[in-house]
Amino acid sequence: MKYCLSALFLLITIAGLAQTQCRSFEYRQQQLKANPMLAQTVATIEQFTSRQLSQRPVAVTGGTSGGTSSSSGAASGGTPSLITIPVVVHILYNTNAENISDAQVQSQIDVLNADYQKQNSDTAEIPSYYRSLATNCGFRFGLALADTNGQATTGIIHKYTTNSYFTINDDIKSSATGGDDGWDRDRYLNIWVGNFTGSLLGYSSVVGGAKATDGVVVLYTAFGTVGTATAPFNLGRTAVHEVGHWLNMIHTWGDDSCGTDLVADTPPQQGPTYGDPSGIILSCGNTPYGNLYQDYMDFTDDIGMHLFTNGQKARMLTLFAPGGFRYALLADTVPVDTATDAVSVAATESSASAMTIYPNPAVSLVTVQLTDPACLGGLLDVYNQLGQKIMSVRVTTLTLQLDVAGLAGGIYFIRASDGKKGAVGKLIRI
């Protein structure tokens, strides 16, 4: 019987490869084979995860457990209730169509924030018997406003490549092979967007893998919700899924027939789910409610993905506990764009010449010269390196003066916008 189940899973896997999908499992296997030491690192991280989760077991509701113990609260003392992740998006394009807009990038950031904070409106589509599993994971994503050298950035890199496509060999992550070098993983989440061969939707690095290749990769037609985003992968859920892997999530079927995803409150299932199914699908004895195919870590179309569970949240948070693999991200102070209600990130699509700041560096009074009349009536905001808004004035003229004498010395970011477009600049206070 075990042989038959394995054969069935092989058939499911072969059929799945013919469809557009995540290739994180295949990538993981390649990395483990190429680097024997990685297996020990992964095992050490898993042992740490297990110890963290054993402190607060999760109550299993809505179905049969597909994993081991988990946790409903913060993984360990010192983990904040809302974790901010600075993001840098590397866009590698060979054709104009592949050079997606900054607005499309922002639409993806919006989806990440909605889905990881349970603010997505389609939670209403979760069946009543699984609704109690859905949770706010407590992650906030923002485009980085400072690069690795402390220079102002939009958090978006557009780079031409002679490569017509990439594969899962990580060429997209290195300038030497036609891609773009990643930024420090202890300070940023790297997302590479480009064109890929075959059926590849995206993949994630292995938690514990090489620093230079840490991050996620997403097909340019499956990124965000506007522009080139194409149904059935046009709601930004591919990146949500891949970032889940980056946060140590495993596919809901455990990448095996009735395998384990090491999460207590997700039911076991036979294999991946494709398309946009409905009703109860039973497998692996997961009565009475069947597969949790609405989970972001399954393979359903974007329209059918709606939740992370409490157990999945707990597993993610262990990475940010003291001693966790991604704990360093909590210690950094990279400023990020978290004020999209006041200033649209699409504003940063304008050229640097849209704002002139002088004198810069400044001691007391500084003049901000804007060139776009659309900013009139909008707001001009000043942020510190923590991404905190510390000053805001109404734009009534294209030439404004700010008194920065009361600010501590350091780097500040000035943004002006009418909510649709505008400009961004960096000010150094001495």
Tell me how far apart the alpha carbons of residues 138 and 314 are, in angstroms, rounded to a whole number. Answer: 10
Tens of pLDDT, residues 135-155 = 999 999 999 999 999 898 999
Residue 279 has pLDDT above 70, yes or no: yes
Q: What residues contact residue 102 under an 8 Å CB cut-off, 6+ apart? A: 154, 156, 345, 346, 348, 349
Residue 60 has pLDDT above 60, yes or no: no
Please tell me whether residue 374 adopts helix, strand or coil conformation: helix
Q: What residues contact residue 24 under an 8 Å CB cut-off, 6+ apart? A: 202, 203, 204, 242, 245, 251
The separation between CA 267 and the C-alpha centre of its own chain, rounded to angstroms, equals: 25
Fold of 345-429: Immunoglobulin-like (2.60.40)
pLDDT of the residue at 380:
86
Q: Are 378 and 422 in contact (CB under 8 A)?
A: yes
According to DSSP, residue 33 is labeled H
Question: Hunting for tokens 């990538």 — which residue is that?
Answer: 27
Q: Are 297 and 274 in contact (CB under 8 A)?
A: no
Q: Which of 147, 143, 165 is nearest to 89 (CA)?
A: 143
pLDDT of the residue at 406:
86
* 45 dihedral zone (left: phi>0; alpha: psi -120 to 50; beta): alpha
pLDDT of the residue at 199:
87
pLDDT level of residue 244 (50, 70, 90 thresholds):
very high
Instruction: Share the mean pLDDT of the chain.
Output: 85
Tally Cβ neighbours within 10 Å of residue 235: 22
CA distances from 206 to 31, 91, 114, 299, 371 (A): 8, 21, 25, 19, 45
Q: Are 116 and 358 in contact (CB under 8 A)?
A: no
Q: List, in sequence order, every residue forming a beta bridge with 402; answer none if it has no partner.
A: 366
Instruction: Give the DSSP H or E segment for 391.
Output: strand 389-394
Q: Which CATH class is domain 2-331?
A: alpha beta
Token couple for 296: 């972001």
Tell me how far apart the alpha carbons of residues 161 and 11 are, in angstroms, rounded to a whole number. Answer: 37
298 residue type, one letter:
D
Instruction: Give the DSSP H or E segment for 141.
Output: strand 139-143
pLDDT of the residue at 21:
87
Give domain limits for the chain: 2-331, 345-429
Q: Alpha helices, DSSP H only, in 323-399? A: 328-331
Q: In degrees to the nearest 10, what's the CA dihedral of 104, 106, 109, 111?
A: -60
Q: Please give the residue that has the higher pLDDT: either 264 or 363.
A: 264
pLDDT of the residue at 8:
31
Q: Are 207 and 42 in contact (CB under 8 A)?
A: yes
Q: Which one from 26, 46, 98, 242 is the annotated catalytic residue?
A: 242
Q: Are 94 and 160 in contact (CB under 8 A)?
A: yes
Residue 242 a catalytic site member: yes
